Amino acid sequence: TAVCVCFLGVCGGEFSILRSPQSVVFRDGSWPIPGERIPDVAALTMGFSVEEDLPWPGLAVGDLFHRPRATVLVTVKGVDKLPVKGFSYPIENAVPFSLDSVANAIHTLFSEETPVVLQLAPSEERVYMVGKANAVFEDLSVTLRQLRNRLFQDNSILSSLPLNSLSRNNEVDLLFLSELQVLHDIASLLSRHKHLAKDHSPDLYSLELSGLEEVGKRYGEDSQQFKDASQILVDSLQKFADEMFNLYGGNAVVEVVAVKEFNSPLSRKTRSILQASQPEKDNPYNLAYPYNYDYSVIFNIVLWMMIGLALAVIVISYNLWNMDPGYDSIIYRMTNQKIRMD
């Protein structure tokens, strides 16, 4: 059960689907996805309602009764395309966005259970966790000092990852590698607490990686270091996607957003997810949304209640129409006998 938060600039990029279950159907095509609607894609794949219809042909109507137990969204800064396996779509009008609405819906509907809501940007030392499953991920490295120390432990990825032209002695390279270490640690922690992946509450993972962008600034995008880092990142993302997909029993969506740079400054409101949402300003025409996030719940309650009442009326009417007069109530029979006696 996972949560992710990403920010995009107006410069464009690519939205890729690395893994998805059979209940979520993505179509193969080059349809551009508006950057501001990526949160709606995540919400719809998880079975939540959105405020406006999404007329995007890349996402088809899947199995409405089997929704994925997790959504994993990884944002990679510094490159507008990654050669990953899966469906990829260009991003049109990429603007800053977040998945706070999805995280809020998960926490509201499953607050008594153990959903995982994890938003993490390692290079910026920004972490956001909500829910009863927080204790599992408390050991994650979130500060730059923790990230560096984690890399030089015995069980780090440095012992198995081919560095090629990257160096253990360069701070920029270590920052890039530490983000890959975080991916490995998330999958490792979840594998030791598999009950979180088997419960009924959906999870949301949001990871933002900017190490590749720093490598490009340090060495140049035509350098061998940048090429090696890009290939290492693609391999690590694919491995991470496979691990998360398998941990959730093939019932997770793993997505990657690649964006070259942010046109607007990266900002995020620091508020608790328990905080009540502030009412939005009235629009000039005082128009309400066609439905809210509880629409599907209310619709199902009303629909099945009406069907049940209709069936009850039909059954009762049928039995009354075909009632045998000989089996009338005792009051009717006593009344007839008294009339006959008189």
The tokens for 328 are: 């009338």
pLDDT at 277 over 50: no
pLDDT at 47 over 80: yes
Q: Which comes out higher in pLDDT, residue 4 or 172?
A: 172
Q: Which residues contact 139 (CB under 8 A, 6 or more apart)?
A: 185, 189
User: pLDDT value at position 272?
Assistant: 36
Give the C-alpha separation, 278 to 325, whole Å.
64
* Residues 302, 219 share a domain: no
For the segment 52-70, what is each residue's pLDDT rounded down to a tens digit?
Answer: 888 899 998 888 788 899 9
Position 19 in a domain: yes
Lowest mean pLDDT among 79-93, 119-133, 188-202, 213-227: 119-133
Percent of the chain with pLDDT over 70: 80
User: pLDDT value at position 162?
Assistant: 87
Give the residue-averaged pLDDT of 9-26.
83
* Residues 313, 176 share a domain: no
pLDDT at 38 over 80: yes
Provide the residue range defining the domain that includes 212: 11-259
* Residues 196, 60 share a domain: yes
* Residues 226, 312 share a domain: no
pLDDT at 339 over 80: no
Give the C-alpha separation, 308 to 153, whole Å.
62
User: pLDDT value at position 333?
Assistant: 57
* Residues 183, 125 share a domain: yes
The residue out of 259, 281, 309 marking a domain boundary is: 259
User: pLDDT value at position 264?
Assistant: 58
Give the C-alpha separation, 87 to 31, whole Å.
11
User: pLDDT value at position 192?
Assistant: 92
Q: How confident is the model at residue 329 (pLDDT cuts 50, 70, 90)?
A: low
Q: Count of domains in the chain?
A: 2
Position 65 in a domain: yes
User: Is 197 in a helix, a strand, or coil?
Assistant: helix
* Residues 115, 240 share a domain: yes
Q: Which comes out higher in pLDDT, residue 125 or 340?
A: 125
Position 290 in a domain: no
Closest C-alpha to 253, from 16, 13, 35, 14: 16
* Residues 320, 201 share a domain: no
Give the residue-averaged pLDDT of 24-49.
91
Q: How confident is the model at residue 128 (pLDDT cuts 50, 70, 90)?
A: confident
Give the C-alpha separation, 241 to 101, whole Å.
23
Contact 189, 140 (CB under 8 A): yes
Position 268 in a domain: no
Q: How confident is the model at residue 179 (pLDDT cuts 50, 70, 90)?
A: very high
User: pLDDT value at position 273?
Assistant: 34
Give the C-alpha separation, 87 to 28, whole Å.
6
Give the C-alpha separation, 45 to 61, whole Å.
9
* Residues 174, 44 share a domain: yes
The residue out of 233, 259, 285 marking a domain boundary is: 259
Position 148 in a domain: yes
Position 286 in a domain: no
Count of CB atoms within 10 A of residue 213's CB? 21
Q: How far is CA 173 from CA 147, 162, 217, 221, in A?
A: 12, 13, 11, 14
* Residues 106, 233 share a domain: yes
Q: State the average pLDDT for the chain.
A: 82
User: pLDDT value at position 100?
Assistant: 86
What is the C-alpha R_g of the chain?
A: 27
pLDDT at 327 over 80: no
Position 228 in a domain: yes
- Give the H or E element holding residue 75: strand 70-77
* Residues 323, 203 share a domain: no
Position 179 in a domain: yes
For the segment 140-156, what is each residue's pLDDT rounded down to a tens digit?
Answer: 888 888 988 999 988 89
Q: How confident is the model at residue 178 (pLDDT cuts 50, 70, 90)?
A: very high
Q: Which residues of 165-179 are buried (b: 16+ CB within 10 A; e: fewer)?
A: ebeeeeebbbbbbbb
Closest C-alpha to 201, from 110, 137, 118, 274: 110
Lowest mean pLDDT among 94-103, 124-133, 274-283: 274-283
* Residues 19, 81 share a domain: yes
The tokens for 225 are: 């270091």
The residue out of 238, 259, 280 marking a domain boundary is: 259
pLDDT at 294 over 90: no
Percent of the chain with pLDDT over 90: 46
pLDDT at 9 over 50: no
* Residues 105, 54 share a domain: yes
For the segment 297-312, what is each residue's pLDDT rounded down to a tens digit?
Answer: 888 999 999 999 999 9
User: pLDDT value at position 226?
Assistant: 95
User: pLDDT value at position 35?
Assistant: 84
Contact 115, 133 (CB under 8 A): yes
Q: How confident is the model at residue 317 (pLDDT cuts 50, 70, 90)?
A: very high
User: Is 204 in a helix, a strand, or coil?
Assistant: strand
